[in-house]
Amino acid sequence: MFEHKSRPEWVAVEEFLSDVVVHPDPALQRAVQSAVDAGMPPIEVTPNAGKLLKLLVGASGARRVLEIGTLAGFSTIWMAQGLPDDGRLVTCEYLAKHAEVARANVDAAGLGHKVEIRIGAALDTLAALETEGVEAFDFVFIDADKENNPRYLDWAVRLGRPGTTIVMDNVVWEGAVLDPSMDEVNAPGIIVALKLMGEDSRLDATVIQTVGSKGWDGFALAVVR
């Protein structure tokens, strides 16, 4: 993520909303601290965004969730909380050390029976899921390396069904969508994925800008037609 100037008013509002409305439980707080303790980058979603994912999972009636990018399991826990007790969440994590931390956090949250963590390159995992003929996913959250966003989006559609909800995080990237030279590694993948959302006849989508402790960013929300 980009370095950005301190915007205490944005952070203060975010903290106020989290404390007054969101109420992240101890298991979620543990997940954030565990990432710090493990030296992992502080790039998990904010509590208000995590709660949104939980509510979207529940409101959509999802029973099967696919997550691309696990990190310490913060967003994983939020979404698993939104699933029914017999729901299933498959999450893809590239690094084994991150998966180990996430596994401990998910288990500590009492959600281990809902969550399967698959280690390795997500594109390989997604291809394996298709080969295995897994049941279609009802909800997909994409929050991994941005270079592969277009491929992840295509897999989300292929592994979904009509009505599947797709959320893609970090799609404004401090405005780099308007000036890819700001980040020539990540911005092009974000831009291509957004164009696909707008042009692909399989999808109906929108984008919401956000601002807060993670800087200036946003997320895309799409539904498979």
Query: What kind of architecture, by CATH, is found in domain 8-224?
Result: 3-Layer(aba) Sandwich (3.40)
Domains in the chain: boundaries: 8-224
Quote the CA–CA distance of 197 and 223 in Å, as a whole number: 10
pLDDT band, very low/low/confident/very high, at 8 (cuts 50, 70, 90): confident
The predicted-structure confidence for 178-222, as pLDDT tens digits, reads as follows 999 999 999 999 999 999 999 999 999 999 999 999 999 999 999
Mean model confidence pLDDT for the chain: 95
Quick one: pLDDT band at residue 1, thresholds 50, 70, 90? Answer: very low
Q: What's the pLDDT tens digit per position in 119-167? A: 999 999 999 999 999 999 999 999 999 999 999 999 999 999 999 999 9
pLDDT at 42: 86
Give the model's pLDDT for residue 7: 62
Q: What is the pTM of this model?
A: 0.95
Tokens standing for residue 57: 């999972």
Decide if pLDDT at 6 tops 80.
no
| 17-42 burial: b if 16+ Cβ within 10 Å, else e | ebeeebebeebbebbbebbeeeebee
